[in-house]
Structure 1
Amino acid sequence: MQALMDHHQEDLDAAYRRVTADVPLRRPASSDEIAAVCQFLVGAEASIVTGAGRTVLVTGAAGGIGQAIVEGFARGGAQVLAVDLDSPALRRLVDAQRALGHDVRGETLDLADPVAINTLLAKLERLDVLVHNAAYFPLTTFAEIDPALLQRTLAVAAACWLPPR
């Protein structure tokens, strides 16, 4: 069994190197490059993390990296709950995934609202994987940021650490 696992790991490592070969080391990766890596991580070649039979919650799910993560887990057989603040984009994602026969549902949610988070978590029968991809950061200088913006930024970042109440 260990030999089989080692062989699978070698295959996984080689495939990952193929996917990441074009990502430069001296500059930040573009969102497309990051999405390609995320697609790999939840794709068929990386079957150990496909999520088959798992319940997966993805925050920041309606675009870019979050969308790629949702698509990958859905394709891998997971039941996915996609969460985002952008209701129209979330609806498009969910509709597209359901049209492909995937088990994806969406929930519009403000992660800065702990009551909304706890309400959502109370509805879940099971949660195997949490991908906290959501982020909020105003494009402003440190000197210009006001306390409300800073509080919102920190609340969204900390959302996955809030225990259900």
Structure 2
Amino acid sequence: MTERLQGKRALVTGAASGIGRAVATRFAREGAQVVFADRDLPGARRAVAELPGTAVAVEMDVTDEDSVAAAHAQALAEVGPLDVVVANAGVQLFGQDAPVADLDLNVWRRTIEVNLTGTFLTVKHAVQAMRGRGGSVICTGSPTGLNGEGRDFTAYSSSKAGIHGLVRTVAAAYAHEGIRVNTVVPGYTETPLVTAISGDADSRAAIVARTPLGRPGTPADVEGIMVYLASDEAAFATGAIFRVDGGMTSL
């Protein structure tokens, strides 16, 4: 590794598994002190145990502002003021999310609560922590928030579109304070979140067929752009959407 994040202090949500774990691990290997934040504290601790150095695990429920505030306070105590926050935690309720006429209100509320409200709270406390110093906030979006890819996932698609809008607004509001805010849009990426697709041969083949590069993504495919946005190399990048979707949204 090139240690492009040497001296940085970062917090990543949803870091017990999937993209969050991959990104947090890569940040640590690039020289950052990393806080692995997740509601699944044992999972976050297992991820940290595989790393040398100063990575730490904290419990954080992104839907609970007290929990988010406590996690930030613990991060400050354990690694110091944060330079980078990745708002990545999310849910996709396969078998429950549906076209709008068939969507149960509770499924809508749960999805919005975790994905959009959870991102809002993560970003809110990240910005509070970075004011006066600057920093980089990175949110995980989705092709479903950009095109009709998620037509059967009304709640999920809406939550991700909301994230894209939130990022643009926060980026504009805090650019003068040196706080950069960007969205990374992974395509179909095989993680524990999408076993309903990856475990069904027909569904998997259909979504891969809509990906011009002809394969599913992996968490490793997302790490590089996250490292770039966390680093000083991205000093002039804010309010942008960075697509790492195998060309899915280019069609």
Provide the TM-score with structure 2 as the length reference: 0.42
Deviation at 1:144, TM superposition (A): 4.9
Deviation string, structure 1 residues 76-104 (Cα, Å, up to 9, x no partner): 1111001112233212101111xxx2211
CA distance in 2, matches of 1:79, 1:62: 16
Q: Map 1:15-164 to 2 at 5 A.
A: 43-44=1-2, 50-97=4-51, 101-123=52-74, 124=76, 125-139=80-94, 140=96, 141-142=98-99, 143-158=101-116, 159-162=118-121, 163-164=124-125
**Structure 1 SS opposite 2:50:** helix
Give the Cα separation in 1 of the matches to 2:69 and 2:27.
Answer: 23
Cα deviation for residue 67 of structure 1 reads 1.5
- Aligned-partner Cα distance in 1 for 2:36–2:30: 15
**Alignment partner of 1:107: what SS?**
strand
> Any conservation in 2 of the 1:81–1:104 contact (CA below 8 Å)?
yes
**Which residue matches 1:26?**
none
Separation in 2, partners of 1:86, 1:65: 15
In structure 2, how many angstroms separate the alpha carbons of the residues matched to 1:94 and 1:145? 38
Q: State the identity %.
A: 34
The structure-2 alpha-carbon separation of the partners of 1:77 and 1:109, relative to structure 1 and needing over 3 Å to count, comes to: same
Q: 1:77-135: CA deviations, max 9, x gaps?
A: 111001112233212101111xxx22111112221112211222233241111111111
Q: Secondary structure at the match of 1:91?
A: helix
C-alpha deviations, 1:4-52, integer Å up to 9, x for none?
xxxxxxxxxxxxxxxxxxxxxxxxxxxxxxxxxxxxxxx53xx5xx321
Q: 2:60 is aligned with what amino acid?
A: L
Q: Please give the secondary structure, in 1, of the residue aligned with 2:53.
A: coil
Structure 1 pair 119/144, CA: closer, same or farther in 2 (3 Å)? farther
Work out the CA distance in 1 between the residues paired with 2:89 and 2:102: 23
CA contact (8 A) 2:37 2:71 kept: no
**Structure 2 unaligned residues grouped into runs of 5+:** 129-251
- TM score, norm. by length of structure 1: 0.61
What SS class does the counterpart of residue 34 from structure 2 fall into? strand
Distance in 1 of aligned mates of 2:23 and 2:66: 26
Displacement of 1:64 after TM fit? 2.0
**AA paired with 2:90?**
A
C-alpha distance in 1 between matches for 2:7 and 2:36: 16
Q: How far off is 1:149 after superposition?
A: 3.0
